[in-house]
Amino acid sequence: MEVLTEYSSPIVLARVIEKAAEEASDPYFVSIARRAKVVQDRYQRGQTDTARALEELFRGIELADRREKRSHSESTISHEEARRKR
C-alpha cells in the first residue's frame, strides 16, 4: 500500500479522521473516528506496528468513502425517480 508522506504516521491520520468526522457530523463517520482513536491508542502503547495501524485506518477511510458514494448514488436515483413521477 502506497502511503502519502503526510499521513505516514497513524497518530496524524487518526487525528485527520477524527476532525473529518466532527465536520461531517454523521453518526457513521463518528463511529469510524472512534475506531481510529482505538487504533491510535493501541499504536501509542506499542500494541500494534505502524504498517498494521495505517492499514486499519485506511480501511476505515475506504469504508466511509464507499458508504458516501453509495449514499450519493441512492440520492441521485431518488431525485431521478421524483422527476419521472411529475
Q: Convert the pLDDT of each residue in 19-56 to its tens digit.
A: 988 888 788 888 899 999 999 999 999 999 999 999 99
DSSP state of 74: H
Q: Per the structure block, which three cell numbers stand in for 51?
A: 504498517
Q: How many domains does the chain have?
A: 1
- Rounded CA gap, 82 and 31, in Å? 32
* Domain encompassing residue 39: 5-85
31 compared with 79, residue with greater pLDDT: 31
Please compute the mean of the pLDDT values over residues 54-82 and round it to a whole number: 77
Residue 65 Cα distances to 5, 7, 39, 69, angstroms: 21, 17, 19, 6
Spatial distance between the Cα atoms of 29 and 17, rounded to a whole number of angstroms: 8
Residue 1's pLDDT band, with cuts at 50, 70 and 90, is very low
Backbone Cα Rg of the chain: 16
